[in-house]
Structure 1
Amino acid sequence: MKIKLFLLLSLVLLNYSGYSQDKNFYIFLCFGQSNMEGNPRFEQQDTIADERFKVLQAVDCPERQRVKNTWYNAVPPLCRCNTGLSPADYFGKTMLARLPAKVKIGIINVSVAGSKIEIFDKDHHQIYLDTAPEWMKKMAAEYNGNPYARLVELAKLAQKAGVIKGILLHQGESNTNDTLWTQKVKGVYTNLLNDLKLKAKSVPLLAGEVVNADHGGVCASMNKIIAKLPEVIANAYVISSAGCASGKDRLHFTAEGCRKLGKRYGVKMLAILGHKVDEPE
């Protein structure tokens, strides 16, 4: 009996010592296409590091001395080696400015420029990739050819260090006028919750609008569909892109527009967590 009790206690202690989860380390999963990936070039003001703001590296970047599956200070690029400024950058900065000093923020960003939401379909992503252009296949290959699975893999690794508090999405340009988009997003969201053993009421989904009509957004009509997401996902919130400047292509946000959008993601998440903050301009 004593031997069995000793073995049981040893097993418990072994599991405990190998799982040092910090409840004050808030993890956020980010996915989407080029605007979430980071399109505009980042500037010096964007590269100020904060020890409380981390990114879990999704791919190897030897030129930046980063190794995949490793935590680093979150300075752009937060996605792959040569991507730009992402809303996730200023989402994290905005959160930290208003949270207690004991709280840290961790970002995981798995995004693919130009891709439809179908690339994150757990069961049918390969059907989409089979007909995708070679440059997109090359991007997906950096995630082992399965961006969804890579996001889950990184999230499970992150759960050993902290707690997943939310999911950030910026996608839709490539699904413009697709009335089934909200259902497709719900499918991805539900799979993430199930695969990571998360509860919907504890993990909100924040989805940003594409470049707004007030800046001549070529895909602005998609915002009417994005607006319906909370009707399909109870814990979903839409982040306005009104007033967020875009580049000449009217598809991608400028660095200034990206910062503003990222701050809005942050303010909304703070409100969800119960912090009263003023809405950014």
Structure 2
Amino acid sequence: MNNKMITKLLLLAGISALPLAAQAAPDPNFHIYLLLGQSNMQGTATIQAQDRGINNPRVRTLQSENGCSGQNWTYGQWRVAEPPQVRCNQEGGLGPGDTFGHTMAANTDDNITIGLVGGAYGGAKIEYFLPNCGSDCTPPYGGISGAPDNGTGGYKWVLDLAKKAQEAGVIKGIIFHQGESNSGQQNWPSLVNQYITALRTDLGISAADLPFIAGELPYTGCCSGHNTLVRQIPNAVQNGHYVTAEGGLNDKGDGLHWNSAAVREMGRRYAAKMLTLVDTNSGPVDCGTQDGSPICCNISADPDGDGWGIQNDNQTCLVTPATDGYIPPNPDDVVAAINVGGQGVSFDGVYYQADTGYTGGMANSTSDSITGSDGSALFQTERYGDFTYEISVPTGDYDVTLDLVELYWDVAGSRAFSVSIEGNTVVDDVDLVSQVGHDVAWLAGPFATRVQDGSLSIAVSTTTDNGTLSGILVRTGTAPTPSSSSVNSQVASSSSVASSSSQAAVSSSEASSVMPSSSSAAVSSSSATSEPVKLGSADWYFLVLMGFVVALRQKLRGAAAS
């Protein structure tokens, strides 16, 4: 049983929590930034005299590799920042992290320390850094001494460094410079999003609390055309931004890498942008109390979602609606709800989380009023193009509703697209203007579906112009049955619209093939109740501890009465 659970029990029993033996809590005044990407972030520019001997104790580096020549630096060790900030680059080693770190320190309170964590590798494609790196898991130019699996799989390396950093302080932002090895690859923005979304999830930090800034590639080099994709990052990555490389910044003559002056300027540009996105004040802050317990300032304090968290000062706190990032509880039958292309919103008694789980497509939004939306912003955002969603759900039966709206076209025939769920077409070649009109919310479904592999798959494909989707709602359901050859959909204003087979049809054969018969997953009442309840050692430990808490509380009351 962990310290968090014991502290909760003491609070519930009305006893003040005593200090618990544990490692030192992360310092809320240690602000940490991740430096990610390939060679230009790793640093290949020449380290010059002006870059040495700064030795600011308020800027520190987490060593990301063993074996730097002439240095007694160890993987996972914090040191005073000096180049190289990332790995052991013997060819030079000056990267944008140097001036970034010192600029951030110069613009924050004197009691705040800046931490730099370098997870960049020269020549590495974005695929190397994905959780599922496939055939790209091998480091391009040899292993990384000290890293998990010697650097096989860049994601494991970066995540390991970031988690070590979280033990010491608070990760505040990410700067990123990568793309030469993927120059012109059209799905690069979506792959970057996969990387950053997974990293935020595994670190337990919301997108709102972890801004991401990508940097353009040198305009004087070989790959400046890739900058059109870099500029798509704000649409592809939630809380994503970019900084320009325009304005006379030169490469060092090889067409790929910055010279020293350009690297320093890029570091300053990253810092200038980051300073507009993060809170540089000292922490922690007092967010009030409820029922005698401190209120969690941010939802990231409660990564397991049980309503209790631990603040940066190691203080147990309570999640309330006043907590930044608070997510209202949904009805019990809601398994997932996603605001496609947008931030977290509520609609019709359901909270839709910020866009997640997608591959491909582009986000878009409008300020137009949407008929049938009840004032919710759910229908003011979309993802358009050809794209897919993978939503993690347990094996079972679900009812899926698709939230649709035509935000752009007002002439019939301008857009047509289809949507499939688990490989079965549920919306077939639909024209939303013909169906309901322009800026009118339409709820298609619910569509009964069976998921057998732990992931609900939704795919949008274009017939004319671009496919579009504004929201996904997944509720627990029943096994699909071949009861009808068509599906009725409903306009959000509650007026019914019967969809023709060419607009939102599911054939009886498709419906029955989504899942096997329900009998294969049935459990009889006798088999569900005949086995006696068994208590494990952890359960007995919990009961004994509760008895101790009650006895201690009674003893304290008796002492107070006497």
State the TM-score bracket (shorter-chain normalisation).
Answer: 0.7 to 0.9
Q: Deviations over 1:214-247 (max 9, x none)?
A: xx22100000011001011131110111122211
The answer to whether the aligner puts 1:127 opposite 2:135 as a matched pair is yes
**CA contact under 8 A between 1:129 and 1:137: conserved in structure 2?**
no
**CA contact under 8 A between 2:188 and 2:229: conserved in structure 1?**
yes
Change (3 A) 1:58 1:44: same
Task: Find the partner of 1:158 among 160, 165, 172.
Answer: 165
Identity %: 34
Counterpart AA for 2:136: Y
CA distance in 1, matches of 2:145, 2:136: 14
The answer to whether the aligner puts 1:89 opposite 2:98 as a matched pair is yes
Change (3 A) 1:221 1:140: farther
CA distance in 2, matches of 1:98, 1:127: 43
Aligned pairs for 1:221-240 within 5 A: 221-240=225-244
Residue 33 of structure 2: SS of its match in structure 1?
strand
Q: Which has the higher strand share?
A: 2
CA distance in 2, matches of 1:141, 1:73: 20
The answer to whether the aligner puts 1:105 opposite 2:111 as a matched pair is no
Task: Find the partner of 1:247 among 252, 262, 265.
Answer: 252
What corresponds to 1:170 in structure 2? 177
Segments of structure 1 that go 5 or more residues without pairing to the other structure are 276-281
Question: Per-residue deviation at 1:120?
Answer: 0.1
What corresponds to 1:202 in structure 2? 209
CA distance in 2, matches of 1:227, 1:111: 21
What corresponds to 2:356 in structure 1? none
Task: Find the partner of 1:50 among 52, 56, 60.
Answer: 56
**CA contact under 8 A between 2:43 and 2:89: conserved in structure 1?**
no
Task: Find the partner of 2:65 among 56, 59, 62.
Answer: 59
The higher radius of gyration belongs to 2
Counterpart AA for 1:110: G
CA distance in 1, matches of 2:65, 2:254: 28
**CA contact under 8 A between 1:50 and 1:74: conserved in structure 2?**
yes
CA distance in 2, matches of 1:100, 1:139: 38
Counterpart AA for 1:128: D
Change (3 A) 1:259 1:14: same
CA distance in 2, matches of 1:218, 1:271: 31
Counterpart AA for 1:160: E
What corresponds to 1:148 in structure 2? 155
CA distance in 1, matches of 2:64, 2:18: 31
Change (3 A) 1:205 1:225: same
What corresponds to 1:13 in structure 2? 19
Change (3 A) 1:157 1:142: closer
Question: Per-residue deviation at 1:273?
Answer: 2.5
Q: Which has the higher helix share?
A: 1
Question: Per-residue deviation at 1:126?
Answer: 4.4
**CA contact under 8 A between 1:211 and 1:246: conserved in structure 2?**
yes
Q: Deviations over 1:62-111 (max 9, x none)?
A: 52111111100010011112251111111101111111101111011011
| TM-score where L is the length of structure 2 | 0.44
CA distance in 2, matches of 1:263, 1:12: 45
Segments of structure 2 that go 5 or more residues without pairing to the other structure are 1-5, 281-562
What corresponds to 2:556 in structure 1? none
Residue 234 of structure 1: SS of its match in structure 2?
coil
**CA contact under 8 A between 1:112 and 1:140: conserved in structure 2?**
no
Number of corresponding residues: 262
Counterpart AA for 1:233: V
Name segments (4+ residues, structure 1) moved above 2 Å.
11-15, 139-143
CA distance in 1, matches of 2:190, 2:100: 26
What corresponds to 2:193 in structure 1? 186
Counterpart AA for 1:74: A
Task: Find the partner of 1:68 among 72, 75, 79.
Answer: 75
Question: Per-residue deviation at 1:142?
Answer: 6.0
**CA contact under 8 A between 1:58 and 1:79: conserved in structure 2?**
yes
What corresponds to 2:327 in structure 1? none
CA distance in 2, matches of 1:60, 1:232: 35
Counterpart AA for 2:265: K
Counterpart AA for 1:14: L
Change (3 A) 1:65 1:229: same
Change (3 A) 1:12 1:210: farther
CA distance in 1, matches of 2:145, 2:128: 12
Counterpart AA for 1:224: T
CA distance in 2, matches of 1:217, 1:274: 35
State the Cα RMSD in Å.
2.2
**CA contact under 8 A between 2:137 and 2:153: conserved in structure 1?**
no
CA distance in 1, matches of 2:144, 2:75: 15
**CA contact under 8 A between 1:64 and 1:81: conserved in structure 2?**
no
Task: Find the partner of 1:24 among 11, 15, 29.
Answer: 29
What corresponds to 2:265 in structure 1? 260
What corresponds to 2:416 in structure 1? none
CA distance in 2, matches of 1:251, 1:211: 7
